[in-house]
Amino acid sequence: MFPETSPASGYNERKTQRQFMGQVLAASAASRIEIVHDVGSLRARLAQWRRAGETIGLVPTMGALHAGHISLVREAKRHATRTMMSIFVNPTQFAPSEDFGAYPRSLEADAAKFASAEGDLVFAPAIGEIYPPGFATLLSIGGPATAGLEDRFRPAHFPGVATIVAKLLNQCRPDIAIFGEKDYQQLKVVTRMARDLDFETKIIGVPTVREADGLALSSRNVYLSAKERAVAPSLFAALRRCVHDINDGVIIETALAAARKTVAAAGFVTDYIEARHAESLAPVTSREEWPVRLLAAATLGKTRLIDNIAV
């Protein structure tokens, strides 16, 4: 169930020898950033900041940063005097059949982007720092984590996400932590988990950043071929049409059926396109069960896209 700390585990593992505080990566003169790889150094730096009266904002990521991540950094800076980003491709949230090995890893470029956004510190732990030998704990979660959306297709995903986020909240003890609405079910899972386990960190969601044609930014968009990239925005277009129809009085199930048909015709294989209560993620059948959110997951070629929109 748990990852071995093998040298094949990717970038984070290859950095185990570089566990010292205050490594400064000079990606360019303008983009100097402190990168720490171990929890001891991280806690020492954060304690210094707290003693100086600073507040701490955490942006948890798996790297491969794009403009969506930078919008999370901007939001963190609105709420805290110091902003840190964790960059860790978390193996426990990937099924064996998924893209853990292929997931893009680009620490130097990510650190430079974070520095340009005026972030303060990157925490890029080695895998053994997060999952030491003998690690045997995984959170068991319900509520939004078992809503029958992502969890139906990726049953191991949210226990892995909840576990890594709980660890990061413990390691960093941030005042706030920022998550994108792009992974809407994840945002609800993390919010529930933080409340249930009495973390003092305030969880803040940030709207999805999109390309001009509506495609939600995602680190996985790089997997799309040119032809697929041209088709990909039709998923969000179908969701928007669906919202329009529901607000025009079309029965929710009828509007959803039309969206599923459009998306299939565009070449997607759909996992789900559903209307849910925006907080509990419980199924809804009428717009009166407000607030309502549409959530979708569909695969185009080899790339699985997820998206969502408020009704």
Q: Which of residues 258-287 bind ligand PAF (CB under 6 A)?
A: none
Closer CB to ligand PAF, 115 or 164, in the complex = 164
How is residue 272 written in tokens? 């789900």
Contact pattern from residue 162 through residue 181 relative to ligand PAF, giving x for each residue in contact according to CB under 6 A and a dash for the rest:
--xx----------------
User: Nearest 5 degrees, angle CA 125-CA 128-CA 132?
Assistant: 130
Closer CB to ligand PAF, 206 or 300, in the complex = 206
The span of 8-16, 57-65, 193-201, 289-297 binding ligand PAF (CB under 6 A) equals: 57-65
Q: Which residues contact 11 (CB under 8 A, 6 or more apart)?
A: 89, 105, 107, 124
Judge if the upstream peptide bond of residue 155 is cis by omega within 30 degrees of 0: no
Compute the CA torsion angle 282, 162, 117, 34 (nearest 10 deg).
Answer: 170
How is residue 275 written in tokens? 């209307």
Q: Are strands 269-277 and 303-310 parallel, antiparallel or unpaired?
A: unpaired
The span of 109-117, 158-166, 201-209, 267-275 binding ligand PAF (CB under 6 A) equals: 158-166
Residue 90 is classified by DSSP as -
Residue 73 is classified by DSSP as H
208 binds ligand PAF (CB under 6 A): no
183 binds ligand PAF (CB under 6 A): yes
Closer CB to ligand PAF, 165 or 296, in the complex = 165
Closer CB to ligand PAF, 128 or 234, in the complex = 128
Q: Min. distance of Cβ 256 from ligand PAF in angstroms?
A: 26
* Radius of gyration from C-alpha coordinates of the chain: 20
How is residue 218 written in tokens? 């995602």
Active-site entry in 37, 66, 69, 277? 69
Cα–Cα distance between 263 and 273 in angstroms, integer?
A: 9
Cα–Cα distance between 42 and 38 in angstroms, integer?
A: 6
144 binds ligand PAF (CB under 6 A): no
Out of 3, 57, 60, 125, the only residue in the binding site for ligand PAF (CB under 6 A) is: 60
Closer CB to ligand PAF, 196 or 253, in the complex = 196
Out of 12, 61, 234, 303, the only residue in the binding site for ligand PAF (CB under 6 A) is: 61
Q: Min. distance of Cβ 208 from ligand PAF in angstroms?
A: 12
203 binds ligand PAF (CB under 6 A): no
Q: Are strands 32-36 and 121-123 parallel, antiparallel or unpaired?
A: parallel
Q: Which of residues 102-131 bind ligand PAF (CB under 6 A)?
A: none
Q: Min. distance of Cβ 236 from ligand PAF in angstroms?
A: 19
- Is residue 310 classed as helix, strand or coil in its secondary structure? strand
Q: Which of residues 85-104 bind ligand PAF (CB under 6 A)?
A: 90, 93
Which amino acid, 245?
D
Closer CB to ligand PAF, 168 or 309, in the complex = 168
Contact pattern from residue 3 through residue 42 relative to ligand PAF, giving x for each residue in contact according to CB under 6 A and a dash for the rest:
----------------------------------------
Cα–Cα distance between 280 and 278 in angstroms, integer?
A: 6
Cα–Cα distance between 77 and 235 in angstroms, integer?
A: 32
191 binds ligand PAF (CB under 6 A): no
| Residue 244 known to be catalytic | no
Nearest residue to 203 via CA among 311, 60, 71 = 60
- Cβ(15)–Cβ(100) below 8 Å: no
For ligand PAF, the binding residues (CB under 6 A) are 60-62, 90, 93, 161, 164-165, 183, 186
Residues marked active site are found at 69
